[in-house]
Amino acid sequence: MKTKRLSPVAVTSIVLGVIVAICLIFGIGTYNSLAKQNQAVEAQWSQVENVMQRRADLVPNLVNAVKGQMGQEQKVFGEIAEARKSYANANTTTGKAKADDQLNKSVGTLINVIKENYPSLQSSNQVNTLMTQLEGSENRISVERKRYIDKVRDYNQSVVTFPKNIFASMMGLGKKDTFKATPSAQTVPSVDFSSNSSSTGK
């Protein structure tokens, strides 16, 4: 019995079909991978915003707790008010991060002033608890922002690498903005009030 040989046209059709199937499988896998990475980045940014918002919500409590006994520190309170306003108005990732850095710096200045010049306030359970919560919030923010930066780095590498960049373009996915931690945001600013400590100390 003779085996029927496939015609060149049939062989070509089969080969093309296999190639299309492979491309389709690869395309679906790439699409799913990019979609998951995109969702992971957005989810991590939501977590960053959650911890930043928690710190932002604590700030008015500390200000209200100490403002009555710190009448000479209006400059510090003004900086905090401006930083909170900028934070509330920021609507981009980099803008939000920059505003958060400024808020952290101004709150750090306030905490340092309290520790340096207002021992009676620092010994208050309410004030001490709020300062501890704010400092703890900054640690959590640093951790979550680092995780976000890492996820954005991995995602951006994917969307610019061939052939994933083709699918990323088809999906409307581009590189995401990231940021670097501001060095001043990692430490409490050093403030010297020695020249008026005798008049402000309580």
Residues 148-174: tens digit of each pLDDT? 999 999 999 988 888 888 888 887 888
pLDDT band at 180 (very low <50, low <70, confident <90, very high): low
Q: What pLDDT shows up at residue 45? A: 94
- Residue 177 near residue 93, CB atoms below 8 Å: yes
Predicted TM-score of the model (pTM): 0.74
pLDDT at 104: 92
Average pLDDT of the chain, as a whole number = 83
Find out whether 179 and 94 touch, Cβ atoms under 8 Å: yes
Query: CA-CA-CA-CA torsion for 57, 62, 64, 66, nearest 10 degrees?
Result: -170
Collapsing DSSP states into helix, strand and coil, what is residue 91?
Answer: coil
Position 57 pLDDT exceeds 90? yes
Kindly state the average pLDDT of the residues 90-97: 91
> Contact, 117 vs 201, CB < 8 A?
yes
Of 63-72, 87-96, 123-132, give the lowest mean pLDDT range. 63-72
| Tens digits of residue pLDDT in 26-56 | 888 888 888 899 999 999 999 999 999 999 9
Question: Domains plus CATH for the chain?
Answer: 14-173 (1.20.1440.20)
Residue 71 CA to residue 9 CA, distance in Å, equals 90
DSSP characters for 186-198? SSPPP---TTTHH
pLDDT of 182 > 60? The answer is no
Q: Does the pLDDT at position 116 exceed 70?
A: yes
